[in-house]
Amino acid sequence: MNRRKGDTGGAFEYAYKAEITNIYSLTQNEKLYQIQICDPDLGDRFTFKPGQFVMLELPGIGEAPFSISSSPSTTGKFELCIRKVGNLTNFLDKVQRGARVGISGPFGTHFPVEQMVGQNILLIAGGLGIVPLRSPLLAVLENRSRYGQVDIMYGAKSPEQLLFTYQYEGWRRFDINLTVTVDNADQSWDGHVGLITEIIQPRINESASLADTTYAIVCGPPVMFRSVCNMLMDAGLPMGKMFVSLERRMHCGRGKCCRCNIGSTYTCLDGPVFDYWSVMNLKEAI
Amino acid sequence: MIFKVFPKKKLSSLYELLAYNIVVGPILKGTDRDGKSLYDFDVVYGFDELVLGYTSTIHSAKRFVLPYQENLSSFEISASDWQKNTDINVYKPLVFFGMHACDINALNKLDMVQAESVYPNPYYIGKRKSMFIIGINCTPEPQCFCQSMGTDTALHGFDLFITDIGEKYFVEILTSQAFELIKKISGKEPSQIDHQRYKHVSSQKNKLFTTTVDSSDLTKILDLEFDSKAWQIWGDKCLSCGTCANVCPTCYCYGVEENVDMDLKGATKTKTLHSCNLLDFASVAGGHNFRPESATRLKYRYYHKHRGFVEAFEEALCVGCGRCGESCLSDITPAEVIASVRNEV
């Protein structure tokens, strides 16, 4: 990974000005923001790949990285699903439709959905992990016939914390096996209760050979990566066919502030999407 | 490379030729509690202020290209919209008069990240490109281990580099501006005797290093010793104050803060240099900290400098100036830390 011969230089302080065109409340703590680049000419040039992120800036409040959660086939607009958890996101929780924000990016690596054509895909998400995973999922849905069997396995703490519930029926109609589990259920819940590994196990038991047929995308809290990825590895899936998206603090998104640095690796430049092989060889990554 | 010599008394003429610019050089700042002289780089107002026989400065030259605090942009905010204004803060060319090889090499290393990598940093490049650098050969101090890091000589990153060879200065010239300047002070071709004197000075300097760091295979050893007890021992001593990063000529980590003006009509975005040793460095929104213990943060600093950076840029992010060890309130020196991780103490 010799960075001396870097890619072509990108903009450093430049930000697209963008407008929040719609806000949907998904749960008590998460909202989905539809964002449109204000200048239509710049908007035409704004494209991204599934798994990439943008830096969102609120003047006077701050700047933070967010994974894009919408389909990569649109230009000039995208969706961010944001949990209120810090200064910036608490402020975002209060803004109204029409608010102007600064956007830089898109930054980082992406899930190689082109490489996955012709193969089965396991999409495994825990909690907020469904957010970066929704973009490759939508990319796959739009080209459904090019892929084999698609399985989504999604776990959350409780039913009311499940995100994008209104889309589950739609996803199923696209010939997708969707299995959802929660750690703690209430009386309204008639689905699976338990850890995400419990819903993955039956699926990998029934497959003959994961090695030649399957790719996996795993997004979730750090504690989930190791158990899920090791489980898939035991089932024969090579580490190079498993992709994860890592989360770190970032102040620049451009490989300069070092806040997201893990050893030799900048999560902003070399990630956030990594194959599991790279993560395994990175101390302190997960 | 072009070599020239000029009589020592001509150095002030060289200074005068450059003095219409802002000149920065090593000056005496005071003494420490033991009476030892303390030097630092600062703006110089006359040739006599320069102390070219200085020992390592308190701060490195870093603060002239990566200021401790810098405004990145400002915002004009109205009820429904805002406007962002960016100033990359480049004012006048800066002449650096008398920089040691380690500090020149430190700027070269910073260039790799800030100027030559993906997303070049215009705030850095603007300042760096308008610098004229005169390097000067030094005498190793007890804490110096630049020889171990291969940074005791500078091969690029300066305009001219002078070495005291007795009656004359021996000059290495890298740029045409420097060539013209030396021509103006009647620089001459070095004689065979001058060559001999230069080689003698170099070999004498090499004998004066007392601190060494064995950096051979260090990237692999650091991987092997990730769980070494040494990290815990040093981590327990570390005060997590970030002084090492503050004086380090190559540390460039930073944080950004935005503040709204009192009248709510404007805001500023300010960058402040940070340190991976500070507690909040790897903490994320929601309260999780990827490196909550002092030992993991200290370890991370060594891993970034001697492993990660080597993997990305094929050289370590350390020039062996020894400032971190000198200024450490807990007397933690890189030579000792690396030796203990290699299980040599």
A contact residues 104-143, partner B, Cβ 8 Å cutoff: none
- Are B121 and A249 an interchain contact pair (Cβ–Cβ within 8 Å)? no
pLDDT of residue B311: 86
Under the banding of pLDDT at 50, 70 and 90, the label for residue A265 is confident
Strand partners, B171: B4, B162
Question: Is residue A281 scored above 80 in pLDDT?
Answer: no
Chain B, residues 253-292, CB within 8 A of chain A, namely: 253-260, 267, 269, 274, 276, 281-286, 290-291
Selection from A265-279, B96-110, B200-214 with the highest mean pLDDT: B96-110
Q: Distance (Å) from the C-alpha of residue A122 to the closest C-alpha of chain B? A: 28
% residues pLDDT > 70 (chain A): 94
User: In A, residues 14-33, which contact B (CB 8 Å cutoff)?
Assistant: 15, 17
DSSP per-residue codes, B126-159: HHHHTEEEEEE-----TT--HHHHT-SS-SSS-S
Q: Which of B3-7, B214-218, B265-269, B274-278 has the lowest mean pLDDT?
A: B214-218
Spell out which residues of chain A touch residue B265, defining contact as CB-CB under 8 Å: none
Query: Vertex B219, ends B214 and B223: CA angle to 5°?
Result: 120
Residues of B in contact with A29 (CB under 8 A): none
Indicate the pLDDT class of residue B118, thresholds 50, 70 and 90: confident
The secondary structure of A105-174 as a DSSP string is EEES----TTTTTTSEEEEEEEGGGHHHHHHHHHHHHHTGGGSS-EEEEEEESSGGG-SSGGGHHHHHHT
- CB contact B219 to A (< 8 Å): no
Mean pLDDT of B262-280: 93
pLDDT of residue B40: 95
**B90 CB neighbour count, 10 Å cutoff:** 16
- pLDDT tens, residue by residue, A93-147: 999 999 999 999 899 999 999 999 999 999 999 999 999 999 999 999 999 999 9
The b/e string for B40-53 (b: 16+ C-beta within 10 A; e otherwise) is bbeebeebeebbbe
pLDDT digit string (tens) for B162-206?
999 999 999 999 999 999 999 999 999 999 999 999 999 999 999
Question: Pick from B112, B114, B303: which is nearest to A263 by CB?
Answer: B303
The model's pLDDT over A4-59, given as tens digits with 9 standing for 90+, comes to: 444 434 456 567 899 999 999 999 999 999 999 999 998 988 899 999 999 999 99
Question: Is there a contact between B285 and A64 if contact means CB atoms under 8 Å apart?
Answer: yes
The average confidence (pLDDT) of chain B is: 92
CA distance A247 to B285: 11
Contact B256 A63 (CB under 8 A): yes
> By three-state DSSP, how is residue B205 classified?
helix
Residues 6+ apart with CB under 8 A from B101: B135, B137, B138, B146, B151, B152, B153, B154, B161
Angle at CA of residue A45, ends A42 and A46, nearest 5°: 90
* Residue with the two structure tokens 């009192």: B262
Q: Which one of A6, A86, A265 has the shortest CB-CB distance to B116? A: A6
Question: Residue A209 has what pLDDT?
Answer: 79
Mean pLDDT of A60-67: 93
Contacts of B308 in chain A (CB under 8 A): 261, 263-265
Touching B: A residues 228-247, CB under 8 Å = 247
Q: Which residues of B touch A58 (CB under 8 A)?
A: 258
Q: Which A residues, 72 through 111, put their C-beta within 8 Å of a C-beta on chain B? A: 85-89, 98, 100, 102
- The residues that bridge with A219 in the sheet, in sequence order, are A125
Tokens of B124: 């850095």
Q: Which residue has the tokens 């281990």?
A: B145
* Predicted confidence (pLDDT) per residue in B325-343, tens digit: 999 999 999 999 999 998 8
Mean pLDDT of B303-319: 91
Report pLDDT for A9: 40
Pairwise CB contact (< 8 Å): A60 & B77: yes
Closest chain B C-alpha to A197 CA, distance in angstroms: 24
Cα separation, B92 vs B124, whole angstroms:
14
C-alpha span between B126 and B108 (Å, rounded): 15
Arithmetic mean of pLDDT, B270-289: 90
- Taking CB atoms and an 8 Å cut-off, how many pairs form between chains A and B? 138
Degrees, nearest 5: CA angle B295-B301-B306: 125
pLDDT of residue A8: 37
Q: Does A191 touch chain B (CB under 8 A)?
A: no
pLDDT in tens, B37-91: 999 999 999 999 999 999 999 999 999 999 999 999 999 999 888 999 888 878 7
Name the residue in chain B with its Cα closest to that of A264.
B308
Asked if B313's CB is within 8 angstroms of A3's CB, the reply is yes
Please report which confidence band the pLDDT of residue A207 belongs to, taking 50, 70 and 90 as the band edges.
low
- Give the largest Cα separation in chain A, rounded: 58
Strands of the A242-245 sheet, one edge to the other: A192-193, A176-182, A150-156, A120-126, A214-219, A242-245, A273-275
ipTM over 0.90: no
Report the pLDDT averaged over residues A73-101: 93
